[in-house]
Amino acid sequence: MPSLIRLIFALFLAIAPFAAQAHEYRLGDLQIDHPWTRATPPGAPVAGGYLAITNTGATPDRLVSASFSASGRVEIHEMKMEGDVMKMAELPGGLAIPPGATVKLEPGGLHLMFMELKEPLAEGAKIKAQLVFEKAGTIDVEFAVEKLGAKAQDHKAHGEHKAQ
């Protein structure tokens, strides 16, 4: 039944790109790697968003804003010492992505702050978001929701389960 084989093959071609997806995105000179966030307990007002952005081009770019479908708005935050207390502060003017650099947003450092969460984030969900860059433009991405309390290290050791 060659037509059935053809159909199966077509289905395979349609599904394969998703199965092989390493959860990275390309927008012009920018490579966006593994956007993720953490599951939130009921009633949590905010969540952090993490990803890495690599500028493979020769000109600087800038992450100017973002939106997240499960939150009212998104701020771009850095960690700053205020006296001897580490605090989060909004980065006015966005986040510079210098040519040749990889800028990492991760727990304890730079991050996106999903403000006014509309609903708790459930582990395993994929949440639609948009990132807006000054030069490269706008890209649709999905943030993978990892377990409550997941750390950046949990990521580097994908699949490796360590005792706490």
> Which residues contact Cu ion by CB under 5 A?
77, 88, 113
CB of 15: closest distance to Cu ion in angstroms? 37
For Cu ion, the closer of residues 29 and 91 by Cβ is 91
For Cu ion, the closer of residues 27 and 76 by Cβ is 76
For Cu ion, the closer of residues 97 and 105 by Cβ is 105
CB of 72: closest distance to Cu ion in angstroms? 15
Three state DSSP letters for the chain? CHHHHHHHHHHHHHHHHHHCCCCEEEECCEEEEEEEEECCCCCCCCEEEEEEEEECCCCCEEEEEEEECCEEEEEEEEEEEECCEEEEEECCCCEEECCCCEEEECCCCCEEEEEEECCCCCCCCEEEEEEEECCCEEEEEEEEEECCCCCHHHHHCCCCCCCC
CB of 90: closest distance to Cu ion in angstroms? 8
For Cu ion, the closer of residues 27 and 110 by Cβ is 110
CB of 8: closest distance to Cu ion in angstroms? 48
